[in-house]
């Protein structure tokens, strides 16, 4: 089976490489950036245009920033979908609004093309290790058929419901991650201002109920002043805006999500949108003076 | 060395039992509740009054609700401290305001009694397993001398600084735990209202960056409608009030902490103060209608 892969960003590149390593060697890749295509070609993939991908591939994966890009690539003039055969399948691993996932699935269904939405969590490190968590929506039969392919890129592949359920789960994921980052920033800043080494606090609390993947992954970055992405604030703003849209449309209260979105917006206004989302701690450093990095004893 | 142990609540009882199991058999226990003392006596401890504990014990542990109780038991008329010998040590494992820890330490120092503040995280399950996380403040020498004793009750014992630093770390811990609970409640409610099984969402996100001790311990309780404490909302209100006091006195911004405290206060107003802190999800269920328990497919 030929596989198409569109979108070779921070996440897409290592994911496509893991497909190759997993034995899916008949891989056609597309990206607007020539160097990224060349990098995958050196790993064994073939460069291809949308038309070739659409005509030749039994399954097409995308890993793109948001729904406008997915719609453009798939459904725009000369988009991939216009070339896809009935019976072929589209698997969108981008994190987009669940409503957009359902709209795209409905249009593809008219052409006889199936769809799964399969966004991921875990960030670049887990993309590289092939240990991402996939949250999948779509028909059970398609899920079972493509689960082994997804497992070359992820260690957890869970179906949450019909199309859109994957992205709904991803919104839940992004709410938790964002709030956990803010909570960590707030807690470490309090400790620092109270004269206690935030590095020791991090070590002391990590084994208890405060322990989390965010604490383990982002705490050391906050302490080191390392704000290289990782996952950019601009992208987290996109996810939280989608979460608020979804929440308002279904009648779910999200006061904490709304608050952390405001802080991320402030970060973007201050020119930090391209930094890792853990740079949210800069907001607390700005308000309270001083930095976590300077406060450590070692 | 005779050890005194005062406060045999949900946490204190299993912790005292683990001291006995760890080989510290010469244990004198006090509690206002006779049945709790009897339970420990059956395990090998001796019942004692404050005077006996103070006169005979080289080290006295307390595990009490808040600073007024610790001050009353130790420094009140007929309190334990009035009987303690110079060179003996007080180790307070209660979670109290760090300022109160420093006040108590200062008064004990006048009598030649040393002190560590050593609050814990992990809740009843880890108290039973002896895998609590201790956050310790006080002199390095005292810390090293009593670390092996604490290790009979906990698997992580970290010194964060001088007296008060343990409770400052604990405030940081409680901020993170409370915010992570609210984030989880918000995320699962969004998924439920969007028509996606919250149990599947929990499974799908737990392996990624949204994973946390709160998610693993409290998510299943939220899904099952199990709000038995565990850790009571009333006690978490006490900790967050201490966190806000500390934050305001040192100039640390804690907007997210202030918000979750408001929700816990609402829970208490609605008669749920005695429930587990994960019952915060009831606030979201109240606002949005329906329950997580009813929304699962299994």
**pLDDT given at position B295:** 85
Q: Which of A201, A213, A287 sits opposite B210 (nearest CB)?
A: A213
**pLDDT given at position A123:** 85
**pLDDT given at position A296:** 81
Q: Is B71 a catalytic residue?
A: no
- The stretch B68-81 carries a mean pLDDT of 97
pTM of the model: 0.93
Q: Which residues of B touch A187 (CB under 8 A)?
A: 171-173, 175-176
pLDDT tens for B187-244 read 999 999 999 999 999 999 998 899 999 999 999 999 999 999 888 999 999 999 999 9
Cβ–Cβ below 8 Å for A121 and B208: yes
Work out whether the CA dihedral A12, A13, A15, A19 comes out positive or negative.
positive
**pLDDT given at position A295:** 85
| pLDDT beneath 70: ranges in chain A | 297-298
**Residue B298 banded pLDDT, cuts 50, 70, 90:** low
Determine the Cα–Cα distance for residues A263 and A149; give it in Å rounded to an integer. Answer: 38
**pLDDT given at position A122:** 86
Determine the Cα–Cα distance for residues B90 and A132; give it in Å rounded to an integer. Answer: 48
Closest CA to A120 of B162, B190, B22, B205: B205
Work out whether the CA dihedral A128, A133, A138, A139 comes out positive or negative.
positive
**What is the Cβ-side half-sphere exposure of residue B43, based on CA atoms within 13 angstroms?**
24
Cβ–Cβ below 8 Å for A253 and B189: yes
Residue B48 to residues A106, A276, B29, B37: CA-CA distances in angstroms? 74, 56, 6, 9
* Chain A interface test: which of B101, B124, B183 (most A C-beta within 10 Å): B183
Residue B297, pLDDT > 80, answer: no
Query: Distance (Å) from the C-alpha of residue A46 to the closest C-alpha of chain B?
Result: 31
**pLDDT given at position A4:** 98
By CA distance, what is A130's nearest residue in B? B208
**pLDDT given at position A298:** 58
**pLDDT given at position A43:** 97
pLDDT tens for B106-149 read 999 999 999 999 999 988 889 999 999 999 999 999 999 999 99
Strands A59-62 vs A3-6: parallel, antiparallel or unpaired: parallel
For residue B46, give the 3-state DSSP assignment.
Answer: strand
SS (H, E, C) A144-203: HHHHHHHCCCEEEEEEEECCCHHHHHHHHHHHHHHHHHHHHHHHHHHHHHCCCCHHHHHH
Cβ–Cβ below 8 Å for A201 and B175: no
B206: DSSP letter: T
pLDDT tens for B226-235 read 999 888 999 9
SS (H, E, C) A130-148: CCEEEEEECCHHHHHHHHH
Q: ipTM exceeding 0.90?
A: yes
Burial class (CB in 10 A: 0-12, 13-18, 19+), A281: buried
Q: Which residues of A touch B280 (CB under 8 A)?
A: none
Interface of B with A in 197-216 (CB under 8 A): 197, 200-201, 203-215
User: Is B128 within 8 Å of chain A by CB?
Assistant: no
Determine the Cα–Cα distance for residues A137 and A157; give it in Å rounded to an integer. Answer: 11
* Chain A interface test: which of B190, B253, B284 (most A C-beta within 10 Å): B190
Closest CA to A64 of A5, A121, A152: A5
Sole residue written with tokens 């010998």: B85
Determine the Cα–Cα distance for residues A241 and B68; give it in Å rounded to an integer. Answer: 45
End-to-end Cα spacing for chain A: 54
From the candidates A170, A218, A238, A275, which is the catalytic residue? A170
């Amino acid at each position: 089976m030929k596989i198409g892969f569109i979108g070779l960003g921070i996440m897409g590149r290592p994911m496509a490489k893991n497909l190759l390593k997993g034995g899916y060697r008949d891989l056609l890749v597309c990206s607007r950036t020539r160097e990224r295509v060349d990098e995958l070609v050196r790993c064994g993939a073939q460069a291809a245009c949308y038309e070739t991908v659409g005509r030749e591939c039994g399954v097409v994966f995308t890993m793109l920033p948001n729904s406008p890009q997915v719609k453009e690539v798939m459904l725009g003039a000369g988009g991939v979908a216009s070339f896809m055969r009935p019976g072929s399948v589209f698997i969108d691993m981008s994190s987009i609004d669940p409503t957009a996932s359902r709209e795209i699935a409905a249009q593809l269904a008219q052409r006889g093309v199936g769809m799964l939405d399969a966004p991921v969590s875990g960030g670049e490190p887990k993309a590289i290790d092939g240990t991402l968590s996939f949250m999948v929506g779509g028909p059970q039969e398609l899920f079972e058929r493509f689960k082994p392919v997804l497992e070359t890129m992820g260690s957890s592949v869970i179906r949450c419901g019909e199309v859109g359920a994957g992205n709904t789960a991803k919104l839940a994921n992004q709410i938790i991650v964002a709030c956990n980052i803010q909570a960590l920033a707030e807690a470490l800043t309090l400790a620092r201002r109270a004269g206690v080494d935030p590095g020791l606090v991090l070590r002391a609390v990590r084994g208890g109920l405060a322990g989390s993947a965010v604490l383990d992954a982002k705490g050391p970055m906050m302490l080191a002043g390392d704000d290289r992405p990782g996952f950019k604030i601009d992208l987290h703003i996109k996810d939280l805006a989608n979460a608020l849209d979804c929440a308002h449309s279904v009648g779910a209260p999200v006061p904490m999500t709304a608050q952390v979105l405001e802080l991320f917006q402030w970060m973007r206004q201050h020119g930090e949108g391209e930094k890792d989302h853990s740079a949210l701690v800069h907001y607390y450093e700005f308000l309270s003076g001083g930095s976590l990095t300077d406060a450590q004893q070692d």
